[in-house]
Amino acid sequence: MKHQAAVLLLASAVTLPVFANDEIDAGNLPKPVATTKTIEQVRAELNAAKRAGDVMVNGELGYVATPDHANGKTLSEVRAGVAQARRSGNYIINAEIGTKANQL
């Protein structure tokens, strides 16, 4: 029991300074940005961008979201299209390289 307590005390003495202030490396954190906009203004801008389809959905690949109403299909038509794609294997299974299921 004394051995376990000693190991625990030693381990905490070594690791606690590393995790001080809930941060591992405070030097790499982004700096806060001052803004003059209210949260309501930011939310309104975000909602307007969503409606216009001007929102990035994957920053790495640069995809832009399209509005929900852009394709003009009903939910049942979309579900039928998804079922057809699953049957034919014509759907992307790896977004980074664009591999489709029927290409494997």
What are the beta bridge partners of residue 100?
92
Q: pLDDT tens digits for 38-60?
A: 999 999 998 888 777 777 766 66
Q: In the 8-state DSSP scheme, what is residue 29?
A: S
Rounded Cα gap, residues 102 and 94, in angstroms: 12
- Do 104 and 94 form a contact (C-beta atoms < 8 A)? no
Q: State phi, psi for 94 to the nearest 5 degrees.
A: -135, 100
Give this prediction's pTM.
0.34
87 compared with 19, residue with greater pLDDT: 87
Q: In the 8-state DSSP scheme, what is residue 15?
A: H
| Beta strand extents in the chain (DSSP E only) | 56-58, 63-64, 92-94, 99-100
